[in-house]
């Protein structure tokens, strides 16, 4: 394998890993079943003093708003919002827009590079991908499990240029139906998906290399 194909293989491995990371994040965001489970497990309606049906309905409004194809304004049925709260959700939507665009770009790039490398019977890109997908969960899971509170704060400080994410429940009661424990479960779902993806890639790499012999 010449240097160019080694570089293409590495690029393909990175692109595939980024696609799986971003697509896992998108899946977790839209996996509303997890929130429905947590409404009961975390007693969210009771804590927010609102019915379970209204809790899920307002959460669904938020998730639908974050969809890149949705250009409607964010209007909750049962909650008012402050200017800071509204601006924070705009920032969140912008981040998820970027994640979606990156996911789409890396998906297309991966397909093109995989098609090229498959013709050469070069499957080393799978090794690069699963290595990254093993490394990412291990790197993130440790601080998440040890101190999720600090990790949660650090995440917001990195990705947001303001402190609007520090919701005041009086001004933005929507935060009462978005407990931090739910975001921990979301994070664990993403990490679990990455572990599953890495296992699948390991299996494919071994199987395809065995068939080359």
Mean of the per-residue pLDDT values of the chain:
91
**3-state helix vs strand vs coil in the chain, percent to 5:** 80, 0, 20
Tens digits of per-residue pLDDT, 160-189? Answer: 888 889 999 999 999 999 999 999 999 999
Q: Supply the pLDDT for residue 142.
A: 82
Among 181, 152, 151, 184, CA closest to 165: 152
pTM of the shown model: 0.89
Tens digits of per-residue pLDDT, 49-72? Answer: 999 999 999 999 999 999 999 999
Phi and psi at 192, nearest 5°, equal -65, -40
Checking if the pLDDT of 101 tops 80, the result is yes
Residues shown for the chain:
213
Phi and psi at 139, nearest 5°, equal -65, -40
How many Å apart are CA 17 and CA 33, to the nearest integer?
25
């Amino acid at each position: 394998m010449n240097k160019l194909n080694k570089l293409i293989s590495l690029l393909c491995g990175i692109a595939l890993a980024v696609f799986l990371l971003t697509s896992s994040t998108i899946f977790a965001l839209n996996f509303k079943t997890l929130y429905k489970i947590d409404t009961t497990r975390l007693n969210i309606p009771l804590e927010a003093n609102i019915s379970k049906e209204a809790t899920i309905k307002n959460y669904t409004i938020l998730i639908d708003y974050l969809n890149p194809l949705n250009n409607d304004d964010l209007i909750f049925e049962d909650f008012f919002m402050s200017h800071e709260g509204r601006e924070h959700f705009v920032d969140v939507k912008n981040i998820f827009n970027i994640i979606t665009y990156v996911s789409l770009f890396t998906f297309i790039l991966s397909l093109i590079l995989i098609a090229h490398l498959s013709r050469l019977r070069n499957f080393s890109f799978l090794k690069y991908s699963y290595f990254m997908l093993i490394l990412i969960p291990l790197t993130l899971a440790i601080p998440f499990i040890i101190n999720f509170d600090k990790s949660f704060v650090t995440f917001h400080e990195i990705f947001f240029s303001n402190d609007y994410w520090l919701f005041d429940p009086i001004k933005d009661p929507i935060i009462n139906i978005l407990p931090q424990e739910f975001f921990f479960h979301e994070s664990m779902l993403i990490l679990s998906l990455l572990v599953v993806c890495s296992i699948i890639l390991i299996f494919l790499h071994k199987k395809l290399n065995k068939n080359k012999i």
